[in-house]
Amino acid sequence: MPEGDTIFRAARTLNRALAGHVVTRFESTFPALMRVADDEPIVGRTVDSVRSQGKHVLMTFTGGLMLRTHMRMNGSWHIYRPGEGWQRPAWDMRVLVGTTDYVAVGFNIPVAEFLSERDLARHRELGRMGPDLLDSAFDLDQARARLRARGDEAIGDALLNQRVMAGIGNVFKSEILFVAGIEPFRRVDALSDEEVTRTIGVARELLRANVLGPAQTLSTAIGRRTTRSLDPNEKLWVYGRGGRPCRRCGTLIEARKTGLDARLTYWCPQCQR
């Protein structure tokens, strides 16, 4: 599943390509989107901006209309020049927004809807999201309070809850807890205040490190690093490394399926006691 850093980079790249330009082409396989486009044409509007909010991409058009998309497990946005061949088959297209210079294509996007300013203000899913870890106005106190409110949950499960903090997915969950030195199955209410603050700080640091620089990729994991190593074979500390030696202490990395979705959690039993 794309995580907060991937969605942030996607929105940033879309914004660079589309913002300030007039829409010359709009297509979608979602009947609800096409009904709106028929009643309130998208073609002729200008793209005001594209931004991320947690794992959502929010594309705003003039006239107070916004397109919200969520990638879930397999969705992605691609950018092409008009007439350029697509890297994915046409039948995977779900949403297309074109300008004179670029065509933005959303492939296999499972969630897409148009929102008015009024809809946005009362949107249930967006309104319940926790502080966005990549937001420059990130509220640390609110994040601590929301995390503490999940006291009876394992810290690994709590970090995946977008109502606690927005942007963490399964890869970063394991990596954050390794860097913070926290065992993934400890209950939140068993963590000290220092451990809670450290975990949040590491989460911000790792996500921000993966969106800095001029990278324009829209892919899900290209360039993602948590180790700071330039070796392409040493990008991550523990994720996907079950049964292999810890890069720090040599102990074998363990893995276990956890949570309602049975997602794999990776950890070092020595470094994360």
The Cα 65–Cα 120 span in angstroms is: 10
Residues 6+ apart with CB under 8 A from 163: 128, 129, 130, 146
% of the chain at pLDDT higher than 70:
95
Per the model's pLDDT, the better-predicted residue between 219 and 78 turns out to be 78
| Residue 217 confidence (pLDDT) | 36
Of 55, 144, 173, 235, the catalytic one is: 55
For the stretch 92-142, pLDDT in tens is: 999 999 999 999 999 999 999 999 878 877 777 777 789 999 888 899 999
Could you tell me how far CA 160 lies from the centroid of its own chain? 11
Per the model's pLDDT, the better-predicted residue between 117 and 240 turns out to be 240
| Residue 126 confidence (pLDDT) | 75
What single DSSP character describes residue 165?
Answer: S
* Contact in structure between 200 and 179 (CB atoms under 8 Å): no
187 assigned to active site: no
- Among all chains, which residue has been given the structure tokens 């500390």? 237
| Residue 104 confidence (pLDDT) | 97
For the stretch 202-228, pLDDT in tens is: 999 999 888 865 443 333 444 578 998
| Residue 119 confidence (pLDDT) | 80
CA torsion 8-12-18-21 (nearest 10°) is: 120
Of 163, 225, 247, 263, the catalytic one is: 263
The structure's pTM equals 0.75
Of 3, 153, 175, 183, the catalytic one is: 3
Residues 6+ apart with CB under 8 A from 40: 63, 65
Mean pLDDT value across residues 238-263: 91
On average, the pLDDT of the chain sits at 90
Of 2, 131, 150, 175, the catalytic one is: 2
DSSP secondary structure of 25-52: EEEES-HHHHHHHHHS-STT-BEEEEEE
The Cα 5–Cα 8 span in angstroms is: 5
For the stretch 10-55, pLDDT in tens is: 899 999 999 999 999 999 999 999 999 999 999 999 999 999 887 8
| Residue 2 confidence (pLDDT) | 67
| Residue 219 confidence (pLDDT) | 38
Mean pLDDT value across residues 222-250: 88
55 assigned to active site: yes
The Cα 272–Cα 186 span in angstroms is: 10
The band of 165, judged by pLDDT with boundaries at 50, 70 and 90, is very high
| Residue 116 confidence (pLDDT) | 86
263 assigned to active site: yes
Q: For the chain, which domains are there?
A: 4-127 (3.20.190.10), 140-267 (1.10.8.50)
DSSP secondary structure of 64-110: TEEEEEE-TTT-EEEEE-TTPPPSS-GGGEEEEEE-SS-EEEEES--
125 assigned to active site: no
